[in-house]
Amino acid sequence: MKKEFTTSVPLSQVTVTDPFWGGYMELARTRIIPYQWEALNDRVPDAEPSHCIHNFKVAAGLEDGKFEGCVFQDSDLAKWLEGAAYSLVSHPDKELEATIDDVVDLMEKAQQPDGYLDTYYILNGMDKRWTNVRDNHEMYCAGHMLEAAVAYYQATGKDRMLKIMIRVVEHISSVFGPEEGKKKGYPGHEELELALVRLYQVTGDPKHLALAKYFIDQRGQQPLFFEEEAKVNGPAWEGPLGLKYYQAAQPVRDQQDADGHSVRAMYLYSGMASVAKETGDEELAAACRRLWESTTRRRMYITGAIGSSEYGEAFTYDYDLPNDMIYGETCAAIGLAMFARRMLELSPKGEYADVMERALYNGVISGLSLEGDRFFYVNPLEVVPEACEKDQRLHHVRYERQKWFGCACCPPNLARVTSSIGWYVYTQREDALFVNLYAASQCRVTLGGVPVTVSAEGNYPWEGTITLKVSAPSSFKSTLALRIPGWCRTWKLTRNGKAVEPALQDGYAMLDGDWNDGDTLVLDMDMPVERMQANPLVREDIGKQAVMRGPIVYCLEEIDNGKKLYEITLPREAGFTAKWEKDLLGGVVAIGSRGLRTVKSEEESGLYRFAAPIKREEVSLRWVPYYAWNNRGVGEMTVWVHSEEL
């Protein structure tokens, strides 16, 4: 394995004590997971039914009935299982474990003699299975269930679900593969690839890695499998995307741009990065870097949202980032964080952690209400409720989080990411520990042969001071690498009270030498309010600025600043203030500033007129974290604000 590769420190070795993320983990445990269990059992009043448990019970022969819901319905249960498993790591819970074991019973009973397990085809006709892998999500569901099985095994040591899923994998590898007589196909919705690598990391069985690699390398090869299928099943997707929708128009190593359905893309790229690392495949790693750059340097919102268009829930083209018509699916931002973590494992570069942080602190958790029981599927950066009501082009944009969705991929995805946040904080290799996020936490790792606990304390993201303490039975030699975030212009670092100026490498302050029990690092990052601007190629943001403080993107909401937020201009001298407000939105730093607002009389002087100076009046603006918008009722919101040029 290459020297630069790192490994994410697993959940079992990280205890998150962070007030910020700790709150979300608690929410996952006490609200999201129990609420979603009710949803999966169709017991949430006034919400669309899930049918998940119903389908498994019927497939297990325990209930009469037929398959209900989407073709990928099983995956909602899988993601919930995975999230519940993560929750058990930090908070063992016999009752929850028993619930999961009941589901495993259902899985066991539903599994077919040859290992097949997908309730859609078990209930709709086994003769049709594997006839439409482009659209019918069998491998997608298997991948999610496999991730759940790995997570549950890692959380509890119980291997019953894992064994079920290994049988599923063996069945799949009897159907697909390079050998003669097997189908030369690959998942229509990627996911199984990354799950197979996770399985391989548990089993060490090279067949599991090989199958992941096969799916990745076979994708987009001539003759195109999905075109062959289409000759029987008919075409799937009209319009300009074609097989790009599935990232399947050409081999992944030849793909230059992040194209098509953005969640599919992130899951594929995550699988590619994992395979590249496990196989040391530099060409595949280069493809990952290319697609990473396409995604994050030309096609990503400032919140870490991706997917500019509802059509295909997809990327469009470089720098096309409309703030109101965005898709920006919660799952896609989660996928971006997953991809980023794997890129960090390929090479520890601050750029990857910057994007991971951007997504997690903004565009991921914007999908979740502060109460934990309402969800956004689409995460716009600019909302005018009237426009969403009256303009069909915005029909996909909700201006209020929903209880559940008929296609409910996002809510359980939020459950699994919030309950596994500890997984994103640290990466390590033999000679170094990288601190990627500044969530308060304890990390138990072996460094220089010594079992070490590194504790991070602080009040991130609201304050920029982080204290890291080393606890070890003996001294050891290692590098502690502290990420200096892209948002941070100035910082100071002390080691046991003395200022140090360590070398900076790819965005990390590299502190090496010998470490002793009780050694303390204090990283003090200045966290002023910053005005941000977009690349001038982003047409939608020309003449506008956004406000950030630390990793947090702010927005203006109607409740604080009135209607017609687009009439506001941020003046050159903004006079920013930042203040902790414990009773606001669960406790946030709110920002105040000067603003200029077009006066009413300007609205009354005709539709088109001779250009003249526009009259504006001074107003006070109040900015709140974007992720927390729409927790105080319905109203306008905007991230990008018209601004005087500096």
Name the residues that contact its own copies, by CB under 8 A. 239-241, 296-298, 300, 302, 308-309, 311-312, 316-317, 320, 325, 386-387, 389-393, 395, 489, 530-539, 542-543, 545-546, 564, 566-567, 598, 602-603, 605-614, 642-643, 645-646
| Residue (380 or 458) nearer to its own copies, CB | 380
* Minimum distance, C-beta of residue 604 to its own copies, in the bound complex (Å): 9
| Residue (5 or 319) nearer to its own copies, CB | 319
- Burial letters for 279-289: b for 16+ Cβ neighbours within 10 Å, e otherwise? bebeebbebbb
φ/ψ of 456, rounded to 5, equals -110, 130
* Minimum distance, C-beta of residue 551 to its own copies, in the bound complex (Å): 12
* Minimum distance, C-beta of residue 262 to its own copies, in the bound complex (Å): 14
Which residues sit opposite 446 in a β-bridge? 451
| Residue (208 or 299) nearer to its own copies, CB | 299
CA distance 412 to 410: 6
State yes or no: is 313 an active-site residue. Answer: yes
- Bin 479: left if φ > 0, else alpha if -120 < ψ < 50, else beta: beta
* Minimum distance, C-beta of residue 343 to its own copies, in the bound complex (Å): 16
State yes or no: is 443 an active-site residue. Answer: no
Tokens 């009259």 correspond to 615
Look up residue 336 and give its two tokens.
């971006």
> CB neighbours (10 Å) of residue 95?
7
* Minimum distance, C-beta of residue 381 to its own copies, in the bound complex (Å): 12
Within 8 A by CB and 6+ apart from 453, the residues are 442, 443, 444, 470, 471, 472
CA distance 485 to 457: 17
For 378, which DSSP code? Answer: B
| Residue (296 or 630) nearer to its own copies, CB | 296
* Minimum distance, C-beta of residue 502 to its own copies, in the bound complex (Å): 24
Catalytic residue among 331, 409, 410, 555: 409
Sign of the Cα pseudo-torsion (314, 630, 319, 551, in order): negative
| Residue (42 or 602) nearer to its own copies, CB | 602
> CB neighbours (10 Å) of residue 45?
6
Which residues sit opposite 512 in a β-bridge? none
- Burial letters for 224-263: b for 16+ Cβ neighbours within 10 Å, e otherwise? bbbeebbeeeeebbeeebbbbbbbbbbebbebebbbbbbb
CA distance 490 to 484: 9
* Minimum distance, C-beta of residue 253 to its own copies, in the bound complex (Å): 23
Is there a contact between 468 and 482 (Cβ–Cβ < 8 Å)?
yes
Catalytic residue among 313, 457, 567, 636: 313
Is there a contact between 66 and 111 (Cβ–Cβ < 8 Å)?
no
| Residue (278 or 558) nearer to its own copies, CB | 558
Helix (H) or strand (E) holding 387: helix 385-390
- Catalytically active residues are 313, 409
